[in-house]
A = this chain, B = another copy of it.
Amino acid sequence: MTMMMHKPSGKGKGSGAMALRHAVLAALLDGEYSGYELAKAFDVGVANFWHAQPQQLYAELTRLEKDGLVTGRQVVQETRPTKRLFTVTDAGLAELQRFAAAAAKPSFIRDDLLVKVQAVDRVDAGPVIAQLEERMAVAAAKTDLFTKILRHLRGDLEEAEFLRTGERIGPYLTCLRGLGFEREHHDWCRSTIAVLRAREKTAGRD
């Protein structure tokens, strides 16, 4: 029976998930960016919800322009190399709208360091503790950075007031998520280090 055999997956490649694509579109809502500038944005604010290498961004911007979702505008500079600034088009906004309305796949942590902690009873705890400390420092730095970004985004207003009346709160809300994540991460690192340290001292005994 089996009504169909070797049907070559009629899904098409223009409609599916295409992860980076929407992250770039969303980041580009804040203004005109060149690939280079966008790469830097992806290292600070946007990093709360996505991360990508510059090369990926350049490639994605090219594809987005080809599909008419962004437009590029050449800017010749005297002292620096010529750059191309990109803006989201109406089609791009429509695509983003479509994406926002579609079901999101569940999120999950995916972290090398957690894999190491999972195995910490059976491998040397020393290096794991060292990496937890490094991670804790990074998380502390990010917490500071996000706090500053939030302050900058809301300007003079108090948070509650800004969230009620601000014009662009999307970046603020995602940054809040980033802040919460880093704080939680930092706390977990601290208490995990404490646990592992305490056990190292009593190793051999018992």
Cβ contact within 8 Å between A121 and B169: yes
Interface residues of A, dominant DSSP = helix
Partner of A100, one of B93, B110, B116: B116
C-alpha spacing A107/B180, complex, angstroms: 14
Instruction: Specify the chain B residue showing the minimal Cβ separation from A177.
Output: B188
Cβ contact within 8 Å between A119 and B100: yes
Given contacts A49-B111, A100-B124, A164-B198, contact A118 B169 (CB under 8 A): no
Taken residue by residue from 142 to 165, chain A's Cβ proximity to chain B (1 for < 8 Å, 0 otherwise) reads as: 000000000000000000000111
Partner of A50, one of B25, B49, B110, B188: B110
Tell yes or no: A23 within 8 A of B by CB. Answer: yes
How many whole Å from A8's CB to the nearest CB in chain B?
19
CB-defined contacts of A48 to chain B, threshold 8 Å: 109, 114
Copies assembled = 2
Tell yes or no: A75 within 8 A of B by CB. Answer: no
Chain A: residues with Cβ within 8 Å of the partner, total of 73
Cβ contact within 8 Å between B100 and A107: no
Taken residue by residue from 92 to 132, chain A's Cβ proximity to chain B (1 for < 8 Å, 0 otherwise) reads as: 01001101110111111111111111111111100110010
Which residues of A pack against B, CB within 8 Å? 19, 22-23, 25-27, 29, 46-51, 93, 96-97, 99-101, 103-124, 127-128, 131, 135, 138, 163-165, 167-171, 173-174, 176-178, 180-181, 183-185, 187-188, 191-192, 195, 198-199, 202, 206
